[in-house]
Amino acid sequence: MNRIEIEIKLNKDRAWLLDTVAHLSDVDLMRGATKSEHDPASMWSAKDHLAHLAGIETNFVRMVRRHLAGDPNPVALRTNPDGSERTMEEIMATVHKMTEEWVAEHRAKSLSEVVALGQAARAATLALLGELTDEQLGAKLPGAPWSDGTIGGVLSVNADHGRVHWQWAKEGLGLA
């Protein structure tokens, strides 16, 4: 994917997601739709899913920046701090815990505040996209299991991520 395709995809999918969420009733926006994968007693609302997306996008930008700064393990999911390999179960437990903490931190925010989180995350993604060379966009991000593993692929997957979470929220709300 080239930089133009990435930017178009990010902008189109963000606009689609915001338009979709904006048409939810306040009740549907706030009621529990899906169980947290970290804490099954915690139910995520559509707004929580939107907050989650901002957190992941923020993390992806940080990973790319760590890589560009020379970090040999910028994703930091596949290994423990001592260097030992993590199992997929351990990786997913770490990811689910991190995302649950992020969502809980932002749960009391209004929709407008959660949208602003997403705007800040997307602005950071677009700023990074503007700083990268075409060669960097095509380079692999070590440890990245998303998309094709390239920096450009990892940045673009934020668009698909929003559609996946909307589908889960929609099904959980019985709107499917």
> Is there a contact between 56 and 123 (Cβ–Cβ < 8 Å)?
no
Residue 164 clears pLDDT 80, i.e. is over it: yes
> Is there a contact between 77 and 143 (Cβ–Cβ < 8 Å)?
yes
Q: How confident is the model at residue 22 (pLDDT cuts 50, 70, 90)?
A: very high
Fold classified for 3-172: Four Helix Bundle (Hemerythrin (Met), subunit A) (1.20.120)
What is the model's pTM? 0.94
pLDDT value for 79: 86
80-94 average pLDDT score: 89
Which two tokens mark 162? 């929003």
Which stretch of 17-26, 71-80, 162-171 has the lowest confidence by average pLDDT?
A: 71-80
Q: How confident is the model at residue 132 (pLDDT cuts 50, 70, 90)?
A: very high
> Is there a contact between 76 and 17 (Cβ–Cβ < 8 Å)?
no
Q: What are the sequence ranges of the domains in the chain?
A: 3-172
pLDDT value for 104: 97
> Is there a contact between 115 and 18 (Cβ–Cβ < 8 Å)?
yes
> Is there a contact between 169 and 91 (Cβ–Cβ < 8 Å)?
no
Q: How confident is the model at residue 68 (pLDDT cuts 50, 70, 90)?
A: very high
Residue 80 clears pLDDT 90, i.e. is over it: no
Of the candidates 43, 50, 42, which has an alpha carbon nearest to the alpha carbon of residue 24? 50
